[in-house]
Structure 1
Amino acid sequence: MKVMILAAGRGERMQPLTGHTPKPLLQAGGRPLIEYHILALAALGLRDLVVNVSHLAEQLMTWCGDGSRWGVRISYSHEPEPLETAGGIQRALPLLGNSPFLVINGDIWLDYASSVHPLAGLMSQRLLTAGRAHLLLVDNPPQHALGDFCLTGGGAVAARSVEAHGLTYAGAGVYTPQFFATMAPGKLPLRPLLDAAIVEGRLSGEYFNGNWMDIGTPERLRELDARLRATSAAKDTI
């Protein structure tokens, strides 16, 4: 299974940090955010990676290189300007092949040391039916208290009702190339495609109850950095 790491955004909410550093290279716990993903993917045997780049692209490409130092192969999808999530994936389709592929936001943090690996269920979706997608959903963070979707007992993703709290899309999922077949090239967010797939019964998902963070602001980056450094210090004292 190939993997796409989304890394092209400008990180407007991360200013001033992203004025000189692409968001996936911002560090927490002494390591760039994107490296947590690369290390976890390599450990799972997922070695064919595609990274989309736009804002400060050369800096990100220079740091990641061809991926050989982690034992992976990295290809790059260049965007003259950030195309948002669906637009970026659609542009990268020639690099992703004809089979279902995993997509991970470069600016999230997942607890890969959890007793239940957050990507284990996603890897089982290698034979996902054409036109479908399968999402990883998590508990709602404080900044997104109502969530995005509901998850039915049968594993289907449903629209969140106005009065109900749902779950939040974790920024990780498996998609088939055909999921993007109806969209024209260009800038487009992912949400309209997900909403259409819900109506047509083409969207499934699973729940992950481990630690997850959307690193969308400098405050959250500092919070994650403090958490990871505290965890590391605690291990050193054992």
Structure 2
Amino acid sequence: MKTAIVTGASSGIGKAISHQLKNEGYDVLGLSRRGPEIFCDITDTKALEHHITKILKTHEIHLLVNCAGLGIFRPHEELSLQKIETLIDTNLKAPILLANLCLRSLKKTQGHIINVASIEATKHSKFSALYSATKAGLRSFSLCLFEELRNAKVRVTNINPDLTQTPFFDTLAFEPTKQKETVIDPDDLATQIVEIIHAPYVVTDITIQPQKFAIIKKPQPSKKHK
């Protein structure tokens, strides 16, 4: 049985891909800060190293899927240093560390690393400087790592999804509409990822978008004048 490590496995894209991988016969080891998966704060380097080292004692890794991600879309000067560090640690640092920890095993199995970046990795948007920087960094890391690993027959795929119906938007000031043509279903995205895993070639970088673009701006609490 092949083993997959999936971050962010308790919801959204991570949950959808974990479900489909189980249907494909994978032993899925999900890392999450909530849910029935292995409890692990991926922003905690020592905890991450501890959990992966423990897993590697009993498993060879065939697939690493980095799905966990956070979003903040606000003027950069309004961000606290703690939020900046948390976003970088979650979106960029953790996938880099996980690749480092799992790579020897992935070379043995001639495995696959899939990094879920974002459409924002490919463009420049207002109030997205920090988020886009982390996702563009992840995309660049993925593409460079493939060049490093291709002769070792380790696949590396970077995926740039556009608006996807997940809890990602719960804390944001906007969200996708409910119209099918304006948002990606996480199960459909997971199906695409499974197809990429089974492809006889390497998909190194792919952007997935709904046909139409539309968002809903959430009502904001009114500011009281002092």
> Quick check: which one's helix share is greater?
2
TM-score relative to the length of structure 1: 0.36
> Quick check: which one's strand share is greater?
1
